[in-house]
Chain A
Amino acid sequence: MAIRERLSGNEAVAYAIKQVNPDVMPAFPITPSTEIPQYVANYIANGEIDTEFIHVESEHSAMSATIGASAAGARAITATSSCGMALMWEELYVAASNRLPIVLALVNRALSGPININADHSDSMGARDTGWIQIYAESNQEVYDNFIQAFPIAEDRRVHLPVMVCQDGFITSHGVENILLVEDDKVKGFVGEYQPEHYLLHPEEKMALGPYAVSNYYMETKRAQRQAMIQAREVILETAARFEEMTGRKYGFFEEYCMEDAEYAVVIIGSAAGTCKAAIDEIRNTTGAKVGLIKIRVFRPFPEEEIAKALSGVKAVAIMDRSEMFSATSGPLGAEVRAALYQAHSSVEAVNYFYGLGGRDITVSDFKTVYGNLETIAQTHVVTGMYEYIGLRSEQSKEV
């Protein structure tokens, strides 16, 4: 029987770490992910797990040591947020290109400046091109489930890529919710014993990692990473199917909420999806407008065809970004979804909104406004402005 608990997102991830009992965890404190290494250190201090914790002196060293441990043949993980991941930047690429199945618990927080400790996706969205698989969660339950699934995905020989398991800072990481935990033995069975193929400490073979590769070789390594990302698609779905067998909880590349007959859709990532669902329920119960939601779970690899298909029946879609990319045209999710629609020769009207930067709240009434706008757009076929803000105080909240 599943274990009923009340945990915060950070506690849930730490609990999953306890159940997996990884070999090595280097980590450095940063709000709001600090609790994860704290809980793990407590498990170790009380003999509940025998993971080796490395008290590194920075996040750059956290990822460097994680890479060293993983290359040596250990199951290695770390946790961070925001500027911590920015400091790891160079190492994120090294981890992915060395094809190391590292799992990173990322608690999404805005990047400086100004310094801000609250949720947005600027950290992970900035790292979207580093070669990591990215899996996002709406709730504590999802981040726990995603974290457990991350190991078999990363370690599958068709993939061999690091996985970033993302949750929204404070909203998810510190919000306590009811959660169903999987029994220890089931988690251990699901994740399995880590059996690397090639590693530095291999008894029979030696390995050299991190070469200087000139133009004759570099491009092929990138192509191989792309292939792994392509193959990750099937592995992510297989792992989700196996997880569903174990828990009854269903996961895919994204969740569709009320999309069967939806005419107006929102595409969103993370905790704000919960608020959006509340708005959908309210709208459907009052005006009866056919509104729905696509909540992205897997952003890397990007499920382009699947999203285009899921949006094929709608009249208008609002793509909601919780981070800027300063292209002066759209946000990262906006760009990807629009590209997907274009490739699918879709004629759906699409509008891109920014919301929740630096932890700014988004409410049910904000989503009702968004759906109202979508109805107007569907009627007029006029999308005003390339992108718009929700909840911005100044006059700039109008069109830009």
Chain B
Amino acid sequence: MEQTAYNFKEVMSKPERLAPGHRMCAGCGGTITVRTVLRALEEGDKAVIGNATGCLEVSSFMYPYTAYEDSYIHNAFENAGATLSGVETAYRVLKKRGKIKDNFKFITFGGDGGTYDIGFQSLSGAMERGHDMVYVCYDNGAYMNTGTQRSSATPQYADTTTTPAGKVSAGKVQVRKDLAAIIAEHHVPYVGQSTFTSNFKDLYTKAQKAIYTPGAAFLNVLSPCPRGWGYEPSEMMNICKMAMETCYWPLFEVVEGKWILNYEPKNKMPIEEFLKPQRRFRHLFKKENEELIGKFQEEIDRRWEELRNKCN
């Protein structure tokens, strides 16, 4: 597909494929991810949208109302990958047998719980089999639909309802799983990691590539959750920016096995800039926890170096 210069105004004026009136929270990052990704569909192209159980599903398809302008299927929590692979296979065979003529694209959304954790096997299977589909993880770093329980995407030390910071606990013990890298190791043609920046150009263009690259594609999108992270919704863009500037959430692509770093900050910011505006990290700024921020920084630095090496 030909990549044309990104025109923010033009992109934003494309018809919405996620209609307003859904019940997602004000300032929800997940919803922004969905709208941006769906906007990357060419206007004439039909699509089937899949969805793992989660905030998005229960808020956008509450019987008898759907917010989707396209055909849509929700099955369960752990099987968005397998479900859409069935839809995509049906498309190929019905096309082969001359039963349908239209062109369809296949995009499925899952939160990090449904993607990193319970849906991990189903996702891995779908990617390995190479279905012509895009799996988009809106990663808000916890099980937000059930009330901010820890997932394997939750950053270390985050205060969640199942890893509460307490007198003898500093939040989540483990570091987060690097899912984009794991999916890249499936040797699929396209993997992208993104968040909200530069007038959504990064996410929009990665979504275009993911949708229009034949074969399996995966997008991991940091999608802040104001309720789970504890910040004012108006702060979202700044938090995304700090995620990039601190190298907590690097922007990269893996195209046909080639690792590409999309953004390298001129001056890498200290991790505090990302942590500080969020209630879930508030306990790290207590005097007794000072060294934990240092440990967090070390992990960021280590992973950043690892990524840069891959991208060289």
Interface set of A (CB-CB < 8 Å, partner B) = 23-24, 26, 50-52, 54-58, 60-62, 64-74, 76, 90-91, 94, 200-203, 206-214, 217
Q: Which of A58, A69, A207 contacts B90 (CB 8 A)?
A: A69
Q: Do A65 and B62 touch (CB < 8 A)? A: no
Q: Could you tell me if A52 and B92 are in contact, using CB atoms closer than 8 angstroms?
A: yes
Q: Mark B59-102, 1 if CB is under 8 A from A, else 0.
A: 00111101011111111101101111111111111101101111
Q: Can you report 15 A-B residue pairs in the complex whose CB atoms are below 8 A from each other?
A: A23-B97, A26-B82, A50-B96, A60-B79, A61-B122, A65-B85, A65-B86, A68-B73, A69-B89, A201-B90, A203-B101, A210-B74, A211-B64, A213-B63, A214-B62
Interface residue from A66, A72, A202, A208 paired with B68 (Cβ < 8 Å): A208
A65 B102 Cβ-Cβ under 8 A = no
B85 surroundings in chain A (CB, below 8 A): 54, 56, 61, 65, 68
CB-CB < 8 A to B263: which residues of A?
Answer: none
Chain A interface helix/strand/loop/mixed: mixed
Task: For A53, give the chain B residue with the smallest CB separation.
Answer: B89
Q: A52-B93, A74-B93, A94-B76 are in contact. Are A217 and B125 (CB under 8 A)?
A: no
**Interface residue count on the B side (C-beta < 8 Å):** 48
B residues near A52, Cβ cutoff 8 Å: 89-90, 92-93
Q: Provide the residues of chain A in CB contact with B83, threshold 8 Å.
A: 64-65, 67-68
6 A-B pairs closest in CB distance: A68-B86, A65-B86, A57-B125, A72-B90, A210-B74, A61-B82
- Residues of B within 8 Å of A70, CB to CB, are 86, 90
Cβ B121 vs Cβ A67 within 8 A:
no
User: Is the CB–CB distance between B75 and A201 below 8 Å?
Assistant: no
A382 to B87, CA, bound (A): 58
- In the complex, besides A61-B125, A65-B86, A68-B90, 10 extra interface pairs with C-beta distance below 8 angstroms are A23-B90, A51-B93, A54-B89, A56-B85, A61-B121, A64-B86, A67-B86, A76-B86, A200-B87, A208-B73
Question: Hey, which chain A residues are within 8 Å of B124, CB to CB?
Answer: 57
CB distance from A358 to the nearest CB of B (A): 29
Provided the pairs A55-B129, A201-B90, A217-B63 are in contact, do residues A68 and B96 lie with their beta carbons within 8 angstroms?
Answer: no
Which residue of B58, B73, B97, B128 is within 8 Å of A212 (Cβ)? B58
Whether B93 and A60, one on each chain, are in contact in the complex, defined by CB atoms closer than 8 angstroms, is no
Most chain A CB within 10 A, of B66, B91, B92, is at B91
Per-residue A-contact encoding for B229-270, CB less than 8 Å = 1, 0 else: 000000000000000000000000000000000000000000
Docked CA distance A120–B121 (Å): 30
Are A211 and B61 interface neighbours, CB within 8 A? yes
Task: Report chain B residues within 8 Å CB of A208.
Answer: 61, 66, 68, 71-73
On whether the beta carbons of B62 and A71 are closer than 8 Å, the reply is no
A374 to B88, CA, bound (A): 56
Within 8 Å CB of A66, what residues of B?
86
Q: Which of B81, B94, B97, B100 has the most CB of A within 10 A?
A: B94
Interface centre among B89, B92, B101 (most CB of A within 10 A): B89
- Which among B62, B64, B76, B121 is the interface contact of A90 at CB below 8 angstroms? B76
